[in-house]
Chain A
Amino acid sequence: MTAIEVAGLSMSFRAPVRKPGLRAAFGSLVRREYREVQALDDISFAIAPGEVVGFIGPNGAGKTTTMKILSGILHPTGGDVRVLESVPWQRRAGFLKRIAFVRGSQPVGGSQELTVMDSLEYQRLLYDVPRADFGDTLKVLEELLRLTPLLERQLRALSLGERMRVGLALALIYRPEVLFLDEPTIGLDVTAAGQIREFAADYVSQTGATVLLTSHYMADVASLCPRLILIDRGRVEYDGPLAELSARLSPYKLVRITARGGPAPDVGEVVESSEGMWVLRVPRDEVAQTTARLLQSLEVVDLAVEEPPLEKVIDRAYREGLR
């Protein structure tokens, strides 16, 4: 049984193009030229119920487009998708009641003059949530999202962090089984982002929801997602455990060493140094050998072998390409 199954998903659209200049502009009146833009190219993956998966990739990789297809907003041009055994773009009411798509860039739609409670009540009606269940869920959400002081406020008067909390409450009041979170911490300060992460982790452990999360903040992904799917230019480039991604993308480890006196170590590449402390970049298969050499040649006070920070690995992968 899978919660989300994607096979050979493709999405392309025609975008009008023309050369610069007035002549080309007039020319395009008579003969319009288009370029086929391949937003998604043969994407396949499957996600089991209860799994929390990070969906990452550089800007324009196709993350949001994939999420829009999985949640039924867009029709793909090819491929087969099943979410909770339904074809999303048929948008059957029964299916839409079981999923939620929360976007950090637009956490709360609808009329901004309404209060949070009015909006929640409308959701109750829209999603046919029985009153008793509504009350119970609201109680849980009030606690997890510290919602109580916000209930009587108008949506337009909420801060960005509050809007995200309310956006999550509106999406979760009907207890969706599959949750698409698109950049849920975008623009939030460190504290607010931390609270959203904490909430997401709590919600998942309490409800067993399946989550697909996109984020440019590796802290979100690293703290929530045991599994990562990395896409670039519309193709899946990696699908597997978070820990292995680092090993695959970066063939190096970092050796952090503090030594008393003595010359600087002459192995590996020094990437950081301060008085008596060095960080060396060492090929993975030479770590043991290098450590032994360092221990022999220097008066070592402290030595640690670390994975390179995920943020840096991903950044390099985005900039230098994944293929």
Chain B
Amino acid sequence: MKLLNLLGASFSMSLRRSMAFRINLVFDVLLAFVGLGTAVAPVLIVFTQADTLAGWSKAETLVLIGTYQLITGLRGTFVDPNLSWFPDNGIRNGKLDSYLLQPAPSLFLASLSLSSPLTLIQLVPGLGVLGWGIAVADVRPGPAGVLGYLLLVAAALVVTWALSVLLACLAFWAPKLQLDVFYHSAWQLGRYPTDIFTRPLRVVLTYVFPMALIASVPSATLLRGAHWPVLLGAVLAATVLSALAATAWQAGLRRYTGATS
């Protein structure tokens, strides 16, 4: 309960803070539309020549792009302000020291206590494309598909958070290593159906660096129906990755020797 209160309070504070940067709002909206445009345009071009792309229809691909945009927007709002470029932003400026002094779980404070509410604006075009995809689909999603979709989106968010935490934890072992560029590039792979990749890459994106869970799996579930093994697999992946993230965090803190003197 306290964590929810804190989350609410910090979101409200971030909102107050972001009012100081109105110009950012304009750029965030602009960036969201440009980003989405570059994702949607090639897809539309491809579908003028073909009916399916690696087994994905136009409607399914649009749902996937919309879902990808939604999760990217939520990541940008709640996770990135805390964990991106963690060695510099989180450790060297002393933020971690102050989190460690506060009477709340340090992992929660370090990974979720800041947010960037204006980034939520990215959800609007994302929802638009998602709605567009659903509208042009041959069949309407059934209740099981919708419930399965929501569950998988929740699991995808947890996976996103856990992967970011694991990446941030590297800072405790290799403080100079900043893999954010690599992570953000790999993240881009999530906006395509996993089926278009060759088998080895598909295996990596499903089991090693599970970008498939971010958009491909939820989108397929929404329009093609829910399958128990898929839902269970996603929940399991989210649980295991979260546990791994929490363990890595605790192990990292034991090694931590301070950022400032």
Measured CB to CB, the residues of A under 8 A from B are 13, 60, 64-65, 68, 71-75, 91, 93-94, 96-97, 99-101, 105-106, 109-111, 113-114, 118, 121-122, 125-128, 154
Question: What are 17 A-B residue pairs whose CB atoms fall within 8 Å in the complex?
Answer: A60-B261, A64-B261, A72-B100, A74-B256, A74-B257, A75-B253, A91-B100, A93-B103, A94-B103, A100-B101, A101-B101, A105-B260, A109-B98, A113-B16, A114-B13, A118-B16, A128-B103
Within 8 A of A (CB), among B59-91: none
A74–B258 contact, CB under 8 A? yes
B174 to chain A, nearest CB (A): 12
Q: Is the CB of B104 within 8 A of A126?
A: yes
Taking CB atoms, residues of chain A closer than 8 Å to B256 are 73-75
Interface stretch of the complex, out of B3-11, B25-33, B149-157, B189-197: B3-11
Q: Is B95 an interface residue (CB 8 A)?
A: yes
In the docked arrangement, what's the CA distance between A66 and B97, Å?
14
B14 at the interface (CB under 8 A from A): yes
Partner of A126, one of B6, B20, B257, B258: B6
The answer on a CB contact under 8 Å between B258 and A65 is yes
Count B interface residues, CB 8 Å: 28
- Is B17 a contact partner of A73 (Cβ separation < 8 A)? no
Contact between B257 and A113, CB atoms less than 8 A apart: no
B254 at the binding interface (Cβ < 8 Å): yes
Contact (Cβ within 8 A) A71 B16? no
Query: In chain A, what residue has the closest Cβ to B98?
Result: A109
Of the candidates B13, B14, B254, B260, the one whose C-beta lies within 8 Å of that of A75 is: B254
B225 to chain A, nearest CB (A): 44
What are the residues of chain B within 8 A of A93 when measuring CB–CB?
103-104
In this assembly, does B114 line the interface, its C-beta being within 8 Å of a C-beta of chain A? yes
The answer to whether A126 touches B103, judged by C-beta atoms less than 8 angstroms apart, is yes
The CA-CA distance from A161 to B256 in the complex, in Å, is 31
Please determine whether A127 and B257 come into contact, CB atoms closer than 8 angstroms: no
A64 neighbours in B (Cβ, 8 Å): 258, 261
Cβ contact within 8 Å between A106 and B14: no
Residue of A nearest to B106 (CB): A91
Tell which of A60, A105, A111, A128 touches B17, judged by Cβ atoms closer than 8 Å. A111
Do residues A73 and B10 form an inter-chain contact, with CB atoms below 8 A?
no
Which of B6, B17, B253 is the one whose CB lies under 8 Å from A113? B17
Q: Which residues of B contact A72 (CB under 8 A)?
A: 100-101
Of all chain B residues, the one with the shortest Cβ separation from A72 is B100
Across the interface, name the chain B residue whose C-beta is closest to A171.
Answer: B101
Task: Give chain A residues whose Cβ lies under 8 Å from the Cβ of B16.
Answer: 113-114, 118
Contact A114 B17 (CB under 8 A): yes
Are A109 and B10 neighbours in the complex by a CB distance under 8 Å? no
Closest residue of A by beta carbon distance from B114: A111
Whether B6 lies near A73 (C-beta < 8 A) is no
A122 touches B103 (CB 8 A): no
Is A122 touching B9 in the complex (CB atoms < 8 A)? yes
**Interfacial chain A residues near B103, Cβ < 8 Å:** 93-94, 96-97, 126-128
B5: chain A residues within 8 A (beta carbon): 125
Distance of B192 from chain A, by nearest CB (Å): 37
Q: Which residue of B lies closest to A63 (CB)?
A: B261
